């Protein structure tokens, strides 16, 4: 049995670091990734290049001195985003991508897009400049069942946008369905898809069977088992279009454990150990590097990280905190429900 593997340092192509005390508390747990796409859904959201640069500087200040992480900033697309601001922020090297949240789809998405025709000039400018669009792919139509919102979004919104905007590079963020996997596979090299750690591990039973478990609630919500299996097959396939975006999304327990609790799983502290476990289960440890370290960088037109990490399988499970403190608040770390024998080390 393989008990030690060495990978190019992984990247996280979808990460929430928040701001203030939460930023200070959670950022060190992502410091071992080489690069991370930083989500802009702060309150208020990151909508200008100047705001993205200021946020990048706050992230840098929150990183330990030895951190590998280089934050890759994004702008939050709104109905009134100016195409010239987006291309200027990209040309200045401030942003790597733009994030599309349909208004009301998820946490802090109130300023998101309400009318996809209004953002057409921005999308055309992005296609021209080669700036990727990271898409939260769920419709917000209350008539659509929450478990169908990803599949309906692909038909009603994503496919029409892609057809009308040739050349637009799109990342389907945190896909959760076999329909998402199939649509990602139908595209060319202008289409990628991130898969989270938690969606490889849980299905909707984890949230709802035997009691309601808010720490497994995220958006898009975990689906039935057939979809989880489709995601595992995609992630471990080695195909270039699939790559890691943890969507690690910390919330204080005081906001999760509520009659109306927030969506988000905080996986930054144990993501690589969980992924090694999943890839070992699927007999695909030799493809973990493609998923976590190579495919995303290639999609974004970047070289792989030059340094390496080692994952070693030991008899004693890897330790990680059950909770962390963030200011006066507590944040619960994602519990995969099994011991983690793969330990993350520098190579």
Q: Which of 264, 269, 296, 336 binds ligand DOR (CB under 6 A)?
A: 264
Q: Is the dihedral of CA 288, 289, 295, 300 positive or negative?
A: positive
By CB under 6 A, is residue 17 in contact with ligand DOR? Answer: no
Residue 133 φ then ψ, to 5°: -105, 120
Residue the block writes with tokens 């609630």: 217
Determine if 263 is a binding residue for ligand DOR (CB under 6 A): yes
Per the listing, tokens 């990247």 go with 11
Q: Which of 85, 148, 189, 247 is catalytic?
A: 247
Q: Which does 99 bind (CB under 5 to 8 A by kind): Zn ion, ligand DOR, none?
A: none
* Residue 38 found at the interface with ligand DOR (CB under 6 A): no
* Segment near Zn ion (CB under 5 A); pick from 20-28, 43-51, 230-238, 244-252: 244-252
Least separation in angstroms between CB 20 and Zn ion? 18
Smallest distance, ligand DOR to C-beta of residue 41, A: 5
> Sign (positive/negative) of CA torsion 231, 224, 274, 21?
positive
Handedness of CA 208, 210, 211, 217 (dihedral sign): negative
Does 176 bind ligand DOR (CB under 6 A)? Our answer is no
Q: Interface with ligand DOR includes 136 (CB under 6 A)?
A: yes
**Residue 16 is a binding residue for ligand DOR (CB under 6 A):** yes
User: Is residue 218 close enough to count as binding ligand DOR by CB under 6 A?
Assistant: yes
Which residue, among 111, 126, 113, 114, has the nearest Cα to 164 in the 3D structure? 126
Sheet with 95-100, edge to edge strand ranges: 12-15, 35-38, 70-76, 95-100, 133-135, 170-172, 191-195, 242-244
Kindly state whether residue 296 participates in binding ligand DOR, applying the rule CB under 6 A.
no
Q: Among 27, 106, 176, 271, which residue sits at the site for ligand DOR (rule: CB under 6 A)?
A: 106
* Binding-site partner at residue 194 among ligand DOR, Zn ion, none, CB < 5 to 8 Å by type: none
Instruction: Among 11, 150, 247, 289, indicate the residue that binds Zn ion (CB under 5 A).
Output: 247
Least Å distance between CB 16 and Zn ion? 6
Q: Applying CB under 5 A, which part among 65-73, 97-105, 241-249, 272-280 lies near Zn ion?
A: 241-249
Q: Is 281 part of the annotated catalytic residue set?
A: no
Is residue 133 within 8 Å of residue 97, measured between CB atoms?
Answer: yes
CB nearer Zn ion, residue 106 or residue 295: 106
| Annotated binding-site ranges | 14, 16-18, 41, 99, 136, 174, 219, 247, 251, 263
228 binds ligand DOR (CB under 6 A): no
* From 23, 30, 40, 41, residue interacting with ligand DOR (rule: CB under 6 A): 41
Q: Which is nearer to ligand DOR, 13 or 279 (CB)?
A: 13
Residues making up the binding site for substrate: 16-18, 41, 136, 219, 251, 263
Least spacing, CB of residue 73 vs ligand DOR, in Å: 16
Which residues, including other chains, have CB under 8 Å from residue 231's CB and lie 6 or more apart?
A: 175, 176, 181, 195, 199, 200
Smaller CB separation from ligand DOR, 100 or 288: 100
- The binding site for ligand DOR (CB under 6 A) comprises 16, 41, 106-108, 136, 218-219, 249, 263-264
Catalytic residue annotation: 247
């Amino acid at each position: 049995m393989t008990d030690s593997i060495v990978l190019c340092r992984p990247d996280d192509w979808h990460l929430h670091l928040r701001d203030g005390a939460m930023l200070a508390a959670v950022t060190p747990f992502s410091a071992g990734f080489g690069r991370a796409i930083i989500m802009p859904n702060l309150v208020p959201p990151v909508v200008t290049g100047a705001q993205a640069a200021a946020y990048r500087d706050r992230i840098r200040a929150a990183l330990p001195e030895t951190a590998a992480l280089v934050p890759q900033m994004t702008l939050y697309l709104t109905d009134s985003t100016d195409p010239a601001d987006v291309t200027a922020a990209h040309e200045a090297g401030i942003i790597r991508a733009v994030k599309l949240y349909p208004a009301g789809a998820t946490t802090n998405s109130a300023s998101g897009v309400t009318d996809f025709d209004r953002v057409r000039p921005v999308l055309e400018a992005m296609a021209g400049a080669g700036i990727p669009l990271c898409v939260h792919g769920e419709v917000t139509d209350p008539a659509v069942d929450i478990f169908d919102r990803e599949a309906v979004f692909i038909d009603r919104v994503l496919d029409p946008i892609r057809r009308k905007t040739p050349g637009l590079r799109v990342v389907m963020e945190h896909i959760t369905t076999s329909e998402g996997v199939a649509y990602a596979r139908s595209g060319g090299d202008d289409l990628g898809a991130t898969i989270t750690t938690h969606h490889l591990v849980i299905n909707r039973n984890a949230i709802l069977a035997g009691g309601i478990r808010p720490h497994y609630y995220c958006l898009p919500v975990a689906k039935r088992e057939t979809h989880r299996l489709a995601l595992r097959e995609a992630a471990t396939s080695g195909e270039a279009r699939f790559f890691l975006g943890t969507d690690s999304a910390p919330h204080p327990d005081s906001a999760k454990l509520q009659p109306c609790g927030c969506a988000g799983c905080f996986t930054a502290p144990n993501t690589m150990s969980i992924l090694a476990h999943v890839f070992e289960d699927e007999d695909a440890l030799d493809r973990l590097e493609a998923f976590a370290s190579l495919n995303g960088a290639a999609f974004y037109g970047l070289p792989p990280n030059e340094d390496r990490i080692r994952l070693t399988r030991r008899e004693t499970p890897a330790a990680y905190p059950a909770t962390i403190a963030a200011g006066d608040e507590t944040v619960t770390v994602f519990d995969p429900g099994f011991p983690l024998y793969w330990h993350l080390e520098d190579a």
